[in-house]
A and B are shown apart, each in its own frame.
Chain A
Amino acid sequence: MNKTRLDKTEALGEPTQPADATEQAGAAGQRRAIDPADELVRLTDVEKLFPVKRGTLLQRTVGAVRAVDGVSFSIARGETLGLVGESGSGKSTLGRLISRLVEPTGGSIVFDGTDISHVSTRRMRPLRRDIQMIFQDPYSSLNPRHTIGSIVAAPLRVQGLAGRGELRGRVRELLEQVGLNPEHYNRYPNEFSGGQRQRIGIARALATRPKLIIADEPVSALDVSIRAQIINLLDDLRSELGLTFLFIAHDLSMVRHISDRVAVMYLGQIIELADRTSLYEGALHPYSHALLSAVPIPDPSSQRRRERIILRDEVPSPLRPPAACRFHPRCWKAQDVCRSEAPPLVEHQPGHLAACHFSEKRSVV
């Protein structure tokens, strides 16, 4: 099922060239909307199964968690792609696949023209400088025994990007770039607040001058007033340095603010992908409708008038995902076809893809 579907729907939307996209929309399904030269990352039918083992001595595989199951999309240079989904949707695994912290069990990942799906750790090392990550928890992602100077300098040392002489100067520059006092070079992470620690994490990610930054829930551990500071910082860095971002988050309003395009994941699959305006003003997939309608709106009067979709149950286990359309057990529109046939991810409007038999444009906010 996956194979045939993905052959047809390799192509993805390209928001920066609407003219092209419209032109190509006619030849539905058989084209790539992002000019290959503009493509920084391309995923084709990427799959990651985590085997589930039983027994201590003689382990046998009793099943597999289908964490990521047949995902295809591209990220254009300079673009920010938001990736949303609930826990267990596979969004973090997808981020770790692209940074090749884990190896895919199927499909291919091409980064900047190189197929990195199965390259060895050694061959991956030089590529690591181009792909960096920012993590969620600023408390556990920084080694408490290292000074922030040595934390930020680590990628430069490992990659041999700066000699002893230049190292200090470059680190100070980085600290300044993320809004920290370069004089704090010799301090330890515990002397900093959550927001400042996240800035340290960002400085470390920027050290190797990467092309792609994968930010996995970079602000969800921070206080409201600090979140905005970090988001603005990421915004500034993006335009100053021309960075490409994969922004993984569950906060849909934050994703709307920062992303050019947004992909919605459910149980290892992408169920909708669109430019931000199309998604937030006219989502097609019922799951996207449910997600958007669940976001609380800080306005008591409009909140009360608002139509809410309250989903039944929770995300099923990725160990035994429902057959055919994975959303059907929770979907209020489900018909027989949803239980027997998986809906392909098809383009409904230029650049707007959805995988639903009964998709319908709807604004729920």
Chain B
Amino acid sequence: MTDPSDTAEKGDTAGKGDTGAGAPPFLEVRDLRVRFTTDDGVVRAVDGMNFSLQRGQTLGIVGESGSGKSVTSLAIMGLHRRGRRVAIDGQILLDGEDLVTAPAARVRELRGRRMAMIFQDPLSSMHPQFTVGEQIVDAYQVHNKVSKAAARNRAAELLELVGIPEPRRRLDDYPHHFSGGMRQRAMIAMALSCDPELLIADEPTTALDVTVQAQILDLMRTLQKEFNSAIIIITHELGVVAEISHDVLVMYAGQVMEHGPVEQVFAAAEHPYTWGLLQSITRLDHQLETRLHTIPGTPPSLINVPPGCPFHPRCAYRDVAGPATGTVRPELALTGPGHRVACHLPVAERRRLFREKVTPTL
């Protein structure tokens, strides 16, 4: 660990440099680890994750399949069935209350009331045999002692809020009567039924067409302004993150590679994996390239995560970073205001490489 940035603040104190300095973060995740025991070995799905989030802010978590982004969100929501096969360590502090050690009943109470989740595929996350109205009414009545009629009024209000035309009539429709975009809106309406302060959206627009995606992202932005909720959006689409997030967190093999304000990370990324992601996408706003840049190889199995920096076998700059990259895990260290990077490359070298090698290829 001879990284010059060592002098900077360490990742363990995550969040200090984040937005809204002063106020304690609404959500704080400290050294979160989620392990699954399988017949093939232990899957380290999330391996030491730190971040924090304020009310009214959106954090985008990006990563490829198997990077641990969905496992993180399920852990926050308390949706992993703890037991012999699943182990969760670390702290998840929601407004100061630790969800990891809280009893299941308490987490269930918070889920829906203070935090809610939107899934990628609303068809498989809504019950096909109940009308959309019944499902929203149910969700609302679990947390609020109100009459069925009052809950139904609330459900209609919610459908209207998320832009579903003729909300009263649509309450009696089944999920399959809704189009993909409308179903996603209904799902958002259900998630919003108890005015959650934390909303986690796991690939909320991946199954949707681009024009509908634009509508849904617009809706999420409007709702956030109205409710001042904290939002975590999980996606593999960098464009979506750029559009809706304040902060972005890049995950690879269950670990955080880079985390910071979107403007900073997109304009001055410091991790070679982030560079690879930025380089490998096609962009409408840039000149056509004859050939796409690729990241060689494939993401590792979470049972056999490479030692040292998990990205080193695919990293183009591993020789520059020195031998430590294959043996010592780099710490997530602050390199700028709210900007943290886990990389063995010296900070100056990273900035030079980004300027000279990466920027021209973007």
Residues of A near any B CB (own CB < 8 A): 86-87, 193-196, 223-229, 231-232, 235, 250-254, 256-257, 280, 290-303, 308, 310-311, 314-315, 365
Are the CB atoms of A223 and B299 closer together than 8 Å?
A: yes
Residue of A nearest to B273 (CB): A225
Residue of B nearest to A223 (CB): B64
Are the CB atoms of B210 and A298 closer together than 8 Å?
A: no
Are the CB atoms of B285 and A226 closer together than 8 Å?
A: no
How far does the Cβ of B62 sit from chain A's closest Cβ, in whole Å? 9
Which of A87, A228, A254 is the most central at the interface, judged by chain B CB atoms within 10 Å of its CB?
A: A228
User: Which residues of A lie under 8 Å from residue B241 when comparing CB positions?
Assistant: 298
How far does the Cβ of B64 sit from chain A's closest Cβ, in whole Å? 4
CA distance in complex: A226, B180 (Å): 27
User: Which residues of A lie under 8 Å from residue B179 when comparing CB positions?
Assistant: 314
User: Which residues of A lie under 8 Å from residue B218 when comparing CB positions?
Assistant: 310
User: Could you tell me which residues of chain B, from 237 to 281, have a CB within 8 Å of some CB in chain A?
Assistant: 237-243, 262-263, 266-267, 276-278, 280-281
User: Which residues of B lie under 8 Å from residue A280 when comparing CB positions?
Assistant: 284
CA distance in complex: A303, B181 (Å): 23
Known: A253-B283, A302-B285. A224 touches B292 (CB 8 A): no
Residue of A nearest to B165 (CB): A313
B182 sits at the interface (CB 8 A): yes
Are the CB atoms of A365 and B266 closer together than 8 Å?
A: no
How far does the Cβ of A162 sit from chain B's closest Cβ, in whole Å? 31
Kindly supply a per-residue 1/0 record for chain B positions 207-234, scoring 1 wherever the CB is within 8 Å of any chain A CB and 0 otherwise: 0011111110110000000000000000
Residues of B near any A CB (own CB < 8 A): 64-65, 179-182, 209-215, 217-218, 236-243, 262-263, 266-267, 276-278, 280-285, 288-289, 291-295, 298-299
User: Which residues of B lie under 8 Å from residue A311 when comparing CB positions?
Assistant: 211, 214-215
User: Which residues of B lie under 8 Å from residue A253 when comparing CB positions?
Assistant: 281-284
Residue of A nearest to B291 (CB): A232
Are the CB atoms of A257 and B215 closer together than 8 Å?
A: no
Could you write out 17 A-B pairs with CB less than 8 Å apart? A193-B298, A224-B277, A224-B280, A227-B280, A228-B280, A256-B282, A257-B288, A257-B289, A257-B292, A294-B211, A296-B213, A298-B241, A300-B262, A301-B263, A303-B242, A314-B179, A365-B284
CA distance in complex: A252, B292 (Å): 15
User: Which residues of A lie under 8 Å from residue B212 when comparing CB positions?
Assistant: 86, 314
Are the CB atoms of A298 and B291 closer together than 8 Å?
A: no
Residue of A nearest to B207 (CB): A87
How far does the Cβ of A328 sit from chain B's closest Cβ, in whole Å? 16
Are the CB atoms of B242 and A225 closer together than 8 Å?
A: no
